[in-house]
Amino acid sequence: MIAAIRALVRYRALVRSLVSRELKARYRGSVLGFLWSFVNPLLVLLTYTLVFTVILPNRQPDIQPYFLFLFCGILPWTWFQASLAESSGVIIASGNLIKKVLFPAEVLPTVTVLANLAHFLLGLPILLAFLAWKGRLAWTAVLLPLPMMVQLVLTLGLALFLSALTVHFRDIQNILTHVLHLWFFATPVIYSYAAIPEGSPLRQALRLNPMTHVMVTYQQVLFHGHVDHWRGLLLALLVGILAFAAGAFLFDRLRDTLPEEV
Amino acid sequence: MTAPAIVARDVSKLYRRFAHRNQFRTLKSALLTGSVLSDLRPEETFTALDGVSFEVPRGTTFGVIGENGSGKSTLLKLVAGITKPTRGRLAVDGRVSALIELGAGFHPEISGRENVSINGIMLGLTRREVERRFDAIVDFAELRDFIDAPVKTYSSGMYMRLGFAVAIHVDPEVLLIDEVLAVGDEAFTRKCLDKIAEFHRRGKTILFVTHSLGLVEKMCDDVLWLRHGRAADRGDAKRVVDAYLTYVAGGEDALLQSQQAATADLASTPEEPAPQATPGGAAPATGYRPGRWGRREIEIRGVRLLDARERERHVFVPGETVTLALSVHAREPVEDFVFGVGLFSAEGTNVYGTNTDIEGFTPRRVAGDAEVRLALEGLSLVEGTYLLDLAAHRRDGTPYDYIRGLHSFRVKSRLKDVGLYRPLHRWSFAGGAEIVPPEPRGELDLGDDPGA
């Protein structure tokens, strides 16, 4: 794991330029260009708001105004979900690099995660603006980097794991879409974790999901303005470190097989 | 000399190949049987390289030749560090740049400028180094006007040029080249060759994988010939290329022979005629099989192919004068002798043959060392590899020394005309025919050093 971190530090110039290339290339040729980074989360938000305030209204009192609560969860979830979905195919897609150039493969999933982090950061001002508009912006917002760090470690670990394994088992790309879908509903993004009765089996199950704790912390920091989920976040951090270690280990084990299998 | 730049000791590379039943094994079944990691071990392997050893001294140009699938590209990937040897040790000293796939890693949507900087970093430069070399790269690629356009708008030639320009400006200690000079127009290819020659002059090490044997002979100090993943031969460029050419001709011949054997079995005519002694005689119906026979009363001890300036060469252009110089030695004085030369295409077709008897020379005596020369003036052959029959025999055909197909030369030409024989010719048009003649271009000049 230490070696993996050291490698990523060594290749930081490469990572940096590839991330900026990702960002530049993504919206090249579209009319709105960079604005899409802002418009995308807004459109997702619009859809969910429509569903959960008009079609299936969510009237839990502690999470009103609902669209704002939703926004606090959707934005980080999009980062998580897009990172994993993209990283599973990223090594196959860059087969040319892996096969023909001496190229540190772990850079590829890392770039995917960081590029999506950049999109997250671009969407953040809009969220903060909405929070300020609704008078919800509290001092706790300065704690935002904490859940972000935990999420980054966890996502990187899973991305390393998935990207290497997908080269050998292409099925993962297909399964992953559905797993992520289920995971979305198993994470309190569209509903409130606090509203689930203490001790219920559902709550027990949600506790096992590291993203639950990350998400609850986001919501507390941004939406509720008070933070008391430290133990959960610490647990998520431990799981994240474990995931990173496992991801780095598997990636290293499979590294030499990648150029042959891509 | 200092320590070698590349050292390979007994290097083997095995590729895994799944058995058929495993081909459709997926994650689900792997998870169900709990065999995820064991499935990632090779079940059946394919040996791409088998115990290859060589050293490349610093500052030399090293060629690797061989048929398709002989392991050349695998070797190059190992030296580049892209894959690791399964067994053995491979050490490379100094920064390596591999021209394996030009422009790998270019992103089509962003500009050439940005791709240059990212590609440079990918190949191991720092951002500052890329900036410093940027102008040189763009000038070399001749893309000044297009550098801010997205790479997807480039033609494939422009793409390759930019890729080559970046890779070459990484300024490696060791340059690996895999058959990439076929890209671009002739002017650019020449520029690439000049650049490679400049590398050589600056004392850099070059590893060169190619099918262009002429280029190998011209540029390489040492050549490794790979056959089915093993080192078939290595050493002096001309010698190894010759051996390889002979083998290739023999390989095609063996194929022909086995086909003929199959038909012969049906016809059941086992008797095979003795090798025809006179090279100029009718082409044998059976395959052309390289070999040497005869009792050596007169021995052909050396064969040289000389150009008009008396320099030994193996690649010629049409129109040149090629002189075959045979050093012969007669142990005892011989009074009945004929010298003959036959010229065959790589497929074994007799292109030409003659001997001193056919042309009416009357033998008197040959004793001790002697030299026999045959000048072929204005070489009238199209591009290709040609094999030589060289013979000393009695007037009745009994051979003293007959060397078949063990010497060869290549003809390289800008014109890709077909056949074997290129007569001196000229087109002319009159009346209603309107046609633009080609720009006058000389033939390739193989006599000059590449860097000169």
Question: Domain residues of chain B, as ranges?
Answer: 6-94+173-242, 291-411
The pLDDT of B26-32, averaged and rounded, is 60
Phi and psi at B265, nearest 5°, equal -60, -40
Please give the model's pTM, rounded to 2 decimal places: 0.66
If you average pLDDT over each of B24-33, B186-195, B321-330, B393-402, which comes out highest?
B321-330
Please tell me the total count of domains within chain A.
1
B15 contacts on A by Cβ (under 8 Å): 260
pLDDT level of residue B103 (50, 70, 90 thresholds)? confident
pLDDT reported for residue B289:
65
Both tokens of B375, joined, read 């000048």
The DSSP symbol for A220 reads I
**Percent of chain B topping pLDDT 90:** 20
The pLDDT of B60-64, averaged and rounded, is 91
The pLDDT of B251-273, averaged and rounded, is 43
How many cross-chain Cβ pairs, A to B, lie less than 8 Å apart? 80
pLDDT in tens, B376-435: 998 999 988 898 989 998 887 777 888 888 888 888 888 888 888 888 888 888 888 888
The pLDDT of B202-219, averaged and rounded, is 84
Q: Which amino acid is at B264?
A: A
Q: Which single residue is written with the structure tokens 């704790």? A: A213
Contacts of A253 (CB under 8 A, 6+ apart): B37, B40
Please determine, for residue A93, whether its predicted confidence score (pLDDT) is greater than 70. yes
A96 contacts on B by Cβ (under 8 Å): 101, 104-105
Question: Distance between CA B91 and CA B39 in Å, rounded?
Answer: 30
pLDDT reported for residue B27:
60
The distance of A208 to chain B (nearest Cα, Å) reads 22
Question: Distance between CA A65 and CA A72 in Å, rounded?
Answer: 11
Contacts of B121 (CB under 8 A, 6+ apart): A13, A14, A17, B127, B130
Q: Terminal CA-to-CA distance of chain B, rounded, Å?
A: 25
Cβ of residue A236 closer than 8 Å to a chain B Cβ? no
Please determine, for residue B281, whether its predicted confidence score (pLDDT) is greater than 70. no
CA distances from A182 to A55, A176, A186, A187, A188 (A): 21, 10, 6, 9, 12
B109 contacts on A by Cβ (under 8 Å): 24-25, 28-29
Among candidates A28, A29, A103 on the partner chain, residue whose Cβ is nearest the Cβ of B122: A103
DSSP B128-161: HHHHHHHHHHHHHHT-GGGTTSBGGGS-HHHHHH
pLDDT in tens, A206-222: 999 999 999 999 999 99
Contacts of A126 (CB under 8 A, 6+ apart): A38, A41, A42
The distance of B359 to chain A (nearest Cα, Å) reads 58
- Judging by DSSP bridges, how do beta strands B205-209 and B174-178 pair with one another? parallel
pLDDT reported for residue A49:
87
Question: Distance between CA A57 and CA A51 in Å, rounded?
Answer: 7
Among candidates B27, B105, B117 on the partner chain, residue whose Cβ is nearest the Cβ of A169: B27
Mutate which of A18, A91, A102, A260 to test chain B, going by most B C-beta atoms within 10 A? Answer: A102
pLDDT reported for residue B18:
54
CATH 2.70.50.60 fits B291-411, yes or no: yes
Question: Distance between CA B422 and CA B320 in Å, rounded?
Answer: 12
Superfamily of chain region B6-94+173-242? P-loop containing nucleotide triphosphate hydrolases (3.40.50.300)
The pLDDT of B24-52, averaged and rounded, is 64
Please determine, for residue B12, whether its predicted confidence score (pLDDT) is greater than 50. yes
Mutate which of A23, A101, A179 to test chain B, going by most B C-beta atoms within 10 A? Answer: A101
A256 contacts on B by Cβ (under 8 Å): 83-84
With an 8 Å Cβ cutoff, are A24 and B83 in contact? Answer: no
Cβ of residue A15 closer than 8 Å to a chain B Cβ? no
Q: Which single residue is written with the structure tokens 């009718």? A: B282
- Judging by DSSP bridges, how do beta strands B350-355 and B338-345 pair with one another? antiparallel
B105 contacts on A by Cβ (under 8 Å): 94, 96-97, 101, 103
pLDDT reported for residue B43:
57
With an 8 Å Cβ cutoff, are B105 and A103 in contact? Answer: yes
pLDDT reported for residue B340:
93
A165 contacts on B by Cβ (under 8 Å): 27
Question: Is the separation of the CB atoms in A98 and A261 below 8 Å?
Answer: no
The distance of B181 to chain A (nearest Cα, Å) reads 16
pLDDT reported for residue B40:
53
pLDDT reported for residue A76:
95
Please determine, for residue B39, whether its predicted confidence score (pLDDT) is greater than 60. no
Both tokens of B385, joined, read 């590899």
pLDDT reported for residue B283:
36
pLDDT in tens, B65-89: 988 888 888 898 889 888 888 889 9
**Which range, of A150-154, B31-35, B219-223, B333-337, averages the lowest pLDDT?**
B31-35
Residue B324: closest CA among B275, B279, B276: B279
Question: Distance between CA B404 and CA B299 in Å, rounded?
Answer: 14
Q: Which single residue is written with the structure tokens 């030009």? A: B102
Question: Distance between CA B199 and CA B192 in Å, rounded?
Answer: 11
Question: What is residue A61's three-state secondary structure?
Answer: helix
pLDDT reported for residue A206:
92
> What domain range includes position A181?
2-261
With an 8 Å Cβ cutoff, are A171 and B26 in contact? Answer: yes
Bridge partners (DSSP) listed for residue B231 = B226
Please determine, for residue A189, whether its predicted confidence score (pLDDT) is greater than 60. yes
Q: Which single residue is written with the structure tokens 């502690």? A: A62
pLDDT reported for residue B381:
92
Question: Is the separation of the CB atoms in A151 and A214 below 8 Å?
Answer: yes
